[in-house]
Amino acid sequence: MGYRLRMTLAFAVLSVASVVVFTLLFLSSSYHELKADRIASVERMTSCLAGNIYWDMHAGDTHRVDEALSRFARGVPGTKPPVVLVLNETSDIYASTADDAGAGAARQDEGAKALGSSLRLISGQLEDDAILTTTLESAAGFISAARVERDGEQLGSVFVDYPLAALDDHFIALFRTAVLWSLLLLPVLLALGWLMGRHLARPIDRLRHCMQRVGAGDLDIDCQAIRSKDEIGVLARGFEEMLAGLREKRLMEEEMRRTERLVAVGQLAAGVAHEINNPLGGLLNAVSTFKRHGHDPRVAEKTVDLLERGLRQIQTTVSALLVQARVESHPLAPADLQDLQTLIGTEVKSKGIQLDWSCGLTHQVPLPSSAVRQVLMNLLLNAIQATPNGGRVTMTCVPQSRHLELRVQDEGPGIAREEIDRLFQPFYSGTGGHGLGLWVTYQTISQLGGSIEVHDAEDAGKGSGAVIEVRLPYSREERSARDQRPAESAIPEQQPQEVLT
């Protein structure tokens, strides 16, 4: 049930209740006013009757007194005529409208029956010389009494017993009039209630419409049509403030998305520059060698082959960093790994580092050569950068039946446990570098379905520095199975980190 309909029904119920209560109050007030008016009227008529029958009672003409009483009873308004009783100075019934033909004793019994104890009570009030006219009310009606006297000579008393039933017709007519006016007024009140409910519900409907539009994602809607100062206006202003905050939040989110896109572009550009710069050093070194010894055909052939592999590695790196499909290259051969010694030779000689190279690969394995060369070059360059001058870097390559194991160890300061969690995050570097080499390495290993373990050599009892072990599966089925495994998010205590994708 809608708010407008509920307000209309509530106002209708309130209107009906108000009309009923107003009608009852009106009828009650009118009845009491009618009763008071009738008492005053009968009291005046009784006083007049007492004065009119004085001379008839003084002359002893009971017939004229009876006629006067009959005319009085017929003249009093009401559906039921009142009982009129005249007592003489000895309190005997002189005349009565209760029985016009009975004897004196019979009249006295009839009067006593009609008035009862109320007659004795009101008679006692008339014994006071200061009271000429009085009225006594009862549940069934009221009795008006007046003394029949003139010039201090009292001949008797007149009593008029007026029943309340005589007011029934007048009250019923008043009730019908009140009900008729109530029925005529009720539709008007209901129509006013409907109009008022519609007027009061209109700002709430507007606010509801605005909320629905905002819930649908439309933050450009104008909800400033409500300008009242009541609670609904306060609610509308609060909603407008909330809407303004949502608009500001949307602008901030759009700005953040633009910033994130720019940051992503910057990361991509930095990654491309970093990964291309690594093989370029080796290629330039090969070109320099070719310039000095290019006359030897074997040196020329080896240099061209080295340049081709280096350029294909750059192509693979660019494709991977641009999140393209996996670029397939020829299977990994022993010559692909031997070229890396030439590519990193300049960095090894510049720091006087001893490179221990132990590779058991003697035949091709089903792994993309460019991706594996990229992983191993990044690990070796990071190890060379972490190792002090004159130190040692060890590279071990062990082909297994279903995977290839690569292990690189340096003699640097090692890696703290708290830094291992952040080691593969982009732009994080513990040696002052770009922080992209290990991140790209992790992405490439994940793409190949492999795993990488990093731990401190001293904790493992293998000397000083850091040890990084990589495991790359041969088959596509094993790579897919690894891709479906959840990556570990925590590093157990005293255990190396292993990330599986």
Which pLDDT tens digit goes with each residue over 323-350? 444 445 788 888 888 888 887 888 888 8
Q: What number of CA atoms fall less than 13 Å from residue 178's CA on the CB side?
A: 19
pLDDT band at 497 (very low <50, low <70, confident <90, very high): very low
Structural domains counted in the chain: 2
- How high is the pLDDT of residue 130? 59
Kindly give the pairing relationship between strand 331-332 and strand 365-368.
antiparallel
Q: Give residue-wise pLDDT tens across range 39-64.
A: 888 888 888 888 888 888 888 888 88
> Is there a contact between 153 and 175 (Cβ–Cβ < 8 Å)?
no
Per residue, the 3-state secondary structure of 131-174, as one string, reads CCEEEEECCCEEEEEEEEEECCEEEEEEEEEEEHHHHHHHHHHH
Q: Is the CA virtual torsion 189, 193, 195, 196 positive or negative? A: positive
- Evaluate whether residue 395 is within a structural domain: yes
User: What whole-number distance in Å separates Cα of residue 154 and Cα of residue 152?
Assistant: 6
Which DSSP string corresponds to 413-441?
S---HHHHTTTTSTT--SSSS-S-HHHHH
**Mean pLDDT (whole number) for 70-98:** 81
pLDDT surpasses 60 at 110: no
25 pLDDT more than 50: yes
CATH of the domain at 52: 3.30.450.20
396 pLDDT higher than 90 = yes
pLDDT top residue among 199 and 271? 199
* Closest to 7 (Cα-Cα) out of 232, 242, 272, 192: 192
Residue 486 lies in a domain: yes
Percent of the chain with pLDDT over 90: 6
This prediction has a pTM of 0.39
CATH number for the domain including 359?
3.30.565.10
User: In this structure, is residue 310 part of a structural domain?
Assistant: no
Q: Provide mean pLDDT across the span 265-279.
A: 70
User: Is 53 within the bounds of a domain?
Assistant: yes
Percent of the chain with pLDDT over 70: 76
**Cα–Cα distance between 382 and 393 in angstroms, integer?**
10
Q: How far apart are CA 398 and CA 420, in angstroms?
A: 25
Last residue of a domain, one of 147, 171, 195: 171
Does 351 reside within a domain? yes
Q: What pLDDT, on a 0 to 100 scale, did the predictor assign at position 111?
A: 46
Decide if 423 is inside a domain.
yes
Q: Which of 253-257, 308-312, 405-409 has the highest mean pLDDT?
A: 405-409
Residue 192: the pLDDT is 80
What pLDDT is recorded for position 127? 64
In a domain, 23, yes or no: yes
| Distance (Å, whole) CA 467 – CA 171 | 112
Q: Which pLDDT score is estimated for 327?
A: 47
Q: Which of 117, 150, 171 lies at the terminal end of a domain, its last residue?
A: 171
Residue 114 CA to residue 96 CA, distance in Å, equals 11
In the prediction, which pLDDT does 156 show? 85
SS (H, E, C) 209-222: HHHHHHHCCCCCCC
| Residue 482 clears pLDDT 80, i.e. is over it | no
Residue 158 pLDDT exceeds 50: yes
Query: Given this model, what pLDDT does residue 128 score?
Result: 63
* Distance from C-alpha of 357 to C-alpha of 182, rounded to nearest angstrom: 110
- CA dist 436 and 90 (Å) reads 136
Cβ contact 294:454 at 8 Å = no
Mean pLDDT of the region 7-12:
74
Sequence-separated (6 or more) residues with CB below 8 Å from residue 398: 360, 404, 405, 407
Q: Would you say residue 279 lies in a domain? A: no
Contact 42, 144 (CB under 8 A): yes
Residue 442 pLDDT more than 80? yes
Please give the Cα distance from 228 to 239 (Å, whole number).
14
For residue 334, what are the domain limits?
A: 327-500
Q: Which of 171, 203, 228 corresponds to the end of one domain?
A: 171
Q: Which residue has the higher pLDDT, 409 or 136?
A: 409
- pLDDT for res 427: 58
**Averaged confidence pLDDT in the chain:** 76
Give the per-residue pLDDT at 407: 93
Residue range 310-321: mean pLDDT, rounded: 69
Q: Do residues 193 and 15 lie in contact, with contact meaning Cβ atoms separated by under 8 Å?
A: yes
In tens, the pLDDT along 217-234 reads 777 777 666 666 777 777
Q: What tens digit of pLDDT does each residue of 353-391 get?
A: 999 999 888 889 999 888 888 889 889 988 898 889 989
